[in-house]
């Protein structure tokens, strides 16, 4: 019942009676014969009685192993395999994925509609479950994704281009309905449009990219994506970690809808191969962006009391969302400390925002360390060292 898209109440309205009419009203186009066939687990059989000292390794009942002997090939390696179903109304097609997990959220789902194919990848622990279908009919560009977290159900609602009844969802494409280790999935890209770029320091810029309307993608905290550009006939890829548009994004009304825009702080290296090409992109140009990658699990922060962050230069970018997440989502948090290494004052990314955040939130402490400061610099100087770290950690633990 918990997986029924229409809810428990709808099912119960036919309990103890003939539900044919109700089914025909709501699901008349559904091929229930094939669905029920999939539900058949075996015919009733009487288990023969054996003496207590009788042993047989694998006794079959109606061609099936007794439940105690059934082994799940993924039980030791990973999660049990999800399943999916679909249903339709005159205007909509809904794909329902039953993950059998309770820690699924919108970050877990990456969906893309390209030409006539639809691809939805659900990340479950270290595995990916893939729906990959050539749709039988055309759909509109945009679609919606909804997750019912307490039962691990995902609903993807597609809008039909024409209000006709579909006889089938489509035909399967590569790796459709498969659960495979995340490390074996490969990178999948979609083209994102450059919306804006603005100077943050003398050599670092904030890039804003817009996802296509036919994509649902939210990069989880601590993970990165790959950019892909073709430079002099060769495809070049580089990893970048998304950031917020500012350290105070979560406190203000977004100017742009958050789920369609991704921000990146990127240092431009004049003698580099990739970043000058990125910097030469004009507003409206496109760059290919991959699915999220990485092994970081934000769940390890749930009971956190003290968090120490070390960053140098643009190595600060992975810290942006971690810092925001810690200050807004961890009730047990006592203190966050950031030690931020740079060459000069001009290199410090979002200095005024960091100082403002430290002033507003007393749980956040900030230390800048410069390796090539001017003579006017009164704070710490030098490079990262055991002595510097020891002082940073010891003093923090005493406070």
Asked whether residue 239 is marked as a ligand-binding residue, the answer is yes
Residue 129 in marked binding region = no
Q: Is 343 annotated as a binding residue?
A: no
Confirm whether residue 213 is marked as ligand binding. no
Residue 240 annotated as binding site: yes
DSSP collapsed to 3 states, the chain? CCCCCCCHHHHHCCCCCCCHHHHHHHHCCCCHHHHHHHHCCCCCCCCCCCCCCCCCCCCCECCECCHHHCCCCCCCCCCCCCEEEEEECCCEEEEEEECCCCCCCHHHEEEEEECCEEEEEEEECCEEEEEEEEECCCEEEEEEEEEECCCCEEEEEEEECCCCCCCCCEEECCCCCEEEEHHHCCCCEEEEEEEEEEECCCCEEEEEEECCCCEECCCCCCCEEEEEEEECCEEEEEEECCECCCCCHHHCCCCCCHHHEEEEEEECCCCCCCHHHHHCCCCCCEEEEECCECCCCHHHHCCCCEEEEEEEHHHHHHHHHHHHHHHHHCCCCCEEEEEEEECCHHHCCCHHHHHHHHHHCCCEEEEEEECCCCCCCCCEECCCCHHHHHHHHHHHHHC
Residues annotated within the binding site for FAD are 239-240, 265, 267, 317
Residues annotated within the binding site are 239-240, 265, 267, 317
């Amino acid at each position: 019942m918990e997986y029924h898209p229409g809810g428990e109440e709808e099912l119960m309205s036919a309990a103890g009676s003939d539900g044919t009419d109700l089914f025909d009203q709501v699901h008349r186009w559904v091929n229930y014969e094939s669905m029920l066939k999939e539900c058949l687990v075996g015919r009733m059989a009487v288990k023969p009685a054996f003496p207590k000292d009788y042993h047989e390794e694998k006794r079959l009942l109606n061609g099936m192993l007794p439940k105690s002997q059934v082994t799940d090939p993924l039980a030791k390696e990973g999660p049990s395999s999800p399943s999916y179903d679909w249903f339709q109304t005159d205007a909509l097609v809904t794909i329902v994925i039953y993950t059998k997990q309770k820690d699924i959220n919108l970050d877990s789902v990456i969906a893309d509609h390209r030409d006539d194919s639809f691809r939805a990848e659900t990340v479950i622990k270290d595995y990916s479950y893939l729906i990959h279908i050539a749709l039988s009919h055309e759909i509109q560009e945009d679609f919606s994704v909804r997750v019912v977290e307490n039962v691990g159900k995902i609903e993807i609602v597609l809008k039909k281009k024409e209000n006709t009844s579909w006889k089938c969802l489509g035909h399967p494409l590569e790796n459709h309905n498969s659960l495979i280790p995340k490390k074996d999935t490969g990178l999948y890209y979609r083209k994102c449009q450059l919306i804006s770029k603005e100077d943050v320091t003398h050599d670092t810029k904030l890039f804003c990219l817009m996802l296509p309307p036919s994509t649902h993608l939210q990069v989880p905290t601590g993970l990165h994506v790959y950019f892909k550009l073709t430079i002099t006939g060769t495809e070049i890829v580089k990893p970048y970690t998304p950031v917020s548009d500012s350290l105070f994004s979560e406190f203000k009304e977004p100017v742009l809808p958050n789920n369609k825009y991704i921000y990146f702080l990127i240092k431009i290296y004049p003698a580099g191969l990739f970043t000058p090409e990125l910097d030469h992109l004009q507003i409206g140009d496109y760059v290919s962006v991959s699915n999220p990658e990485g092994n970081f699990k934000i769940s390890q922060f749930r009971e956190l009391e003290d968090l120490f962050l070390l960053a140098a230069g643009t190595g600060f970018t992975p810290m942006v969302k971690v810092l925001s997440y810690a200050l807004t989502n961890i009730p047990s948090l006592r203190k966050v400390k950031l030690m931020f290494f740079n060459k000069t004052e001009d290199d410090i990314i979002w200095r005024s925002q960091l100082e403002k955040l430290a002033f507003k939130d007393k749980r956040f402490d900030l230390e800048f360390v410069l390796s090539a400061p001017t003579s006017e610099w009164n704070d710490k100087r030098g490079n990262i060292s055991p002595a510097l770290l020891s002082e940073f950690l010891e003093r923090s633990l005493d406070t």
